[in-house]
């Protein structure tokens, strides 16, 4: 196995891609956040690829790539989708998640075909009750199962390092399970 691996975070506007990469990365994050020109509920938004890195030692590192989830950015998807180590879809908590962009993403990255370990991170859940989280997780799970993916939905707080680390940790577990 190569000593450099790529972990992609794909998600809609405001799902927390840049935040989680900033939380996880050990290097200064190369981000492409620009001031939003229309009101999207926040000042800055990602228009290119965010890049961060976790170094384990001198020769081993995990590259973190954040890519927008809308289909018009599929050019960036192609760039990132080469030999991925893991794929994370980030979805912002809401009563009715937007599954259309998610479908496009999944069709493109197709983790079932490539065998890439896949996790769906449910973000912005810190102030939501557990019951609501599990109800929305159910909707997302049934959506993932419709795409023949295992419905792995992990609630994640992008601002918290411990919580964010669970995503690469979990993908790592899946890799290990494949290997042994």
Partner 1 sequence: MFKQILYCSTANGQWSEHVPTAITDIIVQGRRFNRANNITGFLCYKGGYYLQAIEGPTEVITSLYKRICTDSRHYDVNTLLDEANLTTREFQAWSLKLASTSPVSEKVALFIDKKWPALKNNNKAALKILSIFYKAQVRSNYYNADFPSLRKVGQIEVKLLSVPTITSAQVGNHDLLDIYGHLIMRWRTFYDLLGTFRLKEYELYNLLHQLYQSDDLAIRKYQVQHANNTFRNQSKPRQSDSNFYSQLRSFFRRYV
Residues that bind partner 1 (CB under 8 A): 1-3, 5, 54, 56-57, 60, 62, 95-100, 112, 117, 125, 130-139, 141-143, 145-146, 148-157, 161-163, 165-166, 168-180
CB of 43 to partner 1, least distance (A): 25
Q: Which residue reads 């890519």 in tokens?
A: 67
Per-residue tokens: 42:
């926040």
In the bound state with partner 1, the residue whose beta carbon lies nearer, of 36 and 154, is 154
Contacts of residue 77, defined as CB under 8 A and 6 or more positions apart, other chains included, come to 10, 67, 105, 108, 109
In the bound state with partner 1, the residue whose beta carbon lies nearer, of 44 and 56, is 56
Say if CB 24 and CB 7 are below 8 A apart: no
In the bound state with partner 1, the residue whose beta carbon lies nearer, of 37 and 176, is 176
Q: List alpha helices for 27-96, DSSP H.
A: 74-80
CB of 118 to partner 1, least distance (A): 9
Rounded Cα–Cα distance for residues 171 and 177 (Å): 10
CB of 82 to partner 1, least distance (A): 18
CB of 90 to partner 1, least distance (A): 15
In the bound state with partner 1, the residue whose beta carbon lies nearer, of 45 and 157, is 157
CA distances, 132 to each of 37, 87, 89, 94 (Å) = 32, 25, 19, 9
């Amino acid at each position: 196995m190569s000593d450099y691996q790529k972990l992609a975070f794909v998600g809609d506007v405001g799902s927390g891609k840049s935040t989680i990469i900033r939380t996880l990365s050990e290097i200064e994050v190369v981000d492409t956040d620009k001031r939003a020109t229309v009101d999207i509920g926040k000042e800055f938004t990602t228009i290119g690829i965010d890049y961060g890195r976790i170094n384990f030692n001198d020769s081993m590192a995990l590259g973190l790539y954040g890519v927008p989830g809308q289909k018009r950015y599929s050019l960036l998807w192609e760039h990132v989708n080469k030999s991925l180590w893991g794929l994370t879809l980030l979805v912002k908590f809401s009563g009715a998640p937007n599954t259309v962009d998610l479908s496009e993403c999944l069709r493109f990255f197709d983790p079932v075909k490539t065998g890439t370990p896949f996790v769906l991170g449910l973000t912005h859940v810190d102030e939501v009750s557990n019951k609501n989280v599990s109800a929305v997780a159910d909707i997302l799970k049934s959506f993932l199962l419709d795409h023949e993916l295992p419905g792995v939905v992990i609630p994640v707080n992008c601002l918290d390092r411990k919580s964010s680390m669970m995503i690469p940790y979990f993908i790592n577990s899946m890799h290990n399970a494949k290997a042994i």
